[in-house]
């Protein structure tokens, strides 16, 4: 049994060890990355248990994904091998001026072939939270259907549904995303949304309007992540705010939102107050940006 079950795509990621463009790089580092896998790693480092449901190819990248997740303590028993499709890959640039560019090679990847049949009730038994993001349903119709099935299985297992829309313009337009993501957001018990995603999906500008619009979708708890401006939450009619955690130097912002989600959910799993849960989320998110790599900066307990 795992405290948290999550579903999504984990890819191989390659990036230069120094802040240079890919066309200038002579050497690339290789690691893994993906929103849901990042969250699972962060939770395990915080002392909780997490299961990751996905598919990888029968290739070196897929073997690396499984090995890294297993080493981090993530339950990979539901990580299937697809012999007919490759593991997704992406490349990242991190430049001295702060620019970050990502190049995805994930079309028709193994994870894009996830189906509802890959999910079983046993995978959800004992889970307290099932966490999903809006990246997974953007990959394919079968992935979107799998997310809907995951919510059904979460309800049957008595678990809460946590959802982060994680809107990715490279995967689909805002209007396309709204059609698919708004129903999933309405099904969430805990809605974790970045301020930029709120602007795109809820068509609002201010933080107050974003919180109000998100809460109107029906979640018990709504968290609005505002990066260096901290975070806000609405729960039981109360508005709680936490400042951003101090950051010595921003090296790589990738993985900060996933780390925040993990920290907040860890606080909830421990029965902490909303304020303390938000503060832990801010701390984990801040730790992520100080280190190169999707999950390298997440602290261990």
Catalytic amino acids? Answer: 258
Collapsing DSSP states into helix, strand and coil, what is residue 21? coil
SS3 assignment for 208-270: HHHHHHHHCCCCCEEEEECHHHCEEEEECCEEEEECCCCCCCCCCCCCHHHHHHHHHHHHHHC
Alpha carbon distance 171, 118 (integer Å): 23
Dihedral angle sign, alpha carbons of residues 279, 40, 256, 28: positive
β-pair type (4-7, 11-15): unpaired
To 5 degrees, how large is the angle CA 65–CA 140–CA 10?
Answer: 10
Instruction: Evaluate whether 103 touches 28 at the Cβ level (below 8 Å).
Output: no
Collapsing DSSP states into helix, strand and coil, what is residue 156? helix
Number of neighbouring beta carbons within 10 Å of residue 287: 20
């Amino acid at each position: 049994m795992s405290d948290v079950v999550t579903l999504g795509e984990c890819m191989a990621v390659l990036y230069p060890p120094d802040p240079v463009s890919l066309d200038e790089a002579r050497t690339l580092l290789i690691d893994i990355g993906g929103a849901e896998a990042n969250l699972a790693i962060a939770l395990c480092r915080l002392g909780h248990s997490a299961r990751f449901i996905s598919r990888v190819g029968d290739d070196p990248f897929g073997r690396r994904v499984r090995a890294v997740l297993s080493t981090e303590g993530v339950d990979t028993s539901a990580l299937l091998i697809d012999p007919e499709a490759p593991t997704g890959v992406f490349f990242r640039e991190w430049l001295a001026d702060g620019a970050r560019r990502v190049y995805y090679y994930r079309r028709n990847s193994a994870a894009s072939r996830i189906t509802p049949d890959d999910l079983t009730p046993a995978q959800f038994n004992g889970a307290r939270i099932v966490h999903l993001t809006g990246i997974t349903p953007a990959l394919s119709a079968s992935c979107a259907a799998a997310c809907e099935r995951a919510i059904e299985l979460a309800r049957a297992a008595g678990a809460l549904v946590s959802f982060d829309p994680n809107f990715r313009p490279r995967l689909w337009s805002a209007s396309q995303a709204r059609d698919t993501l708004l129903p999933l957001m309405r099904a969430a018990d805990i809605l974790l949304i970045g301020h930029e995603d709120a602007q795109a999906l809820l068509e609002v500008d201010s933080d107050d309007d974003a919180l109000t619009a998100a809460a109107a979708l029906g979640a018990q708890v709504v968290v609005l992540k505002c990066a260096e401006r901290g975070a806000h939450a609405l729960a039981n009619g109360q508005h709680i705010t936490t400042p951003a955690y101090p950051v010595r130097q921003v090296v790589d912002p990738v993985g900060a939102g996933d780390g925040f989600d993990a920290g907040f959910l860890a606080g909830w799993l421990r029965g902490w107050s909303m304020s303390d849960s938000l503060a832990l989320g801010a701390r984990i998110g801040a730790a992520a940006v100080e280190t190169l790599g999707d999950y390298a900066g997440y602290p261990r307990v």
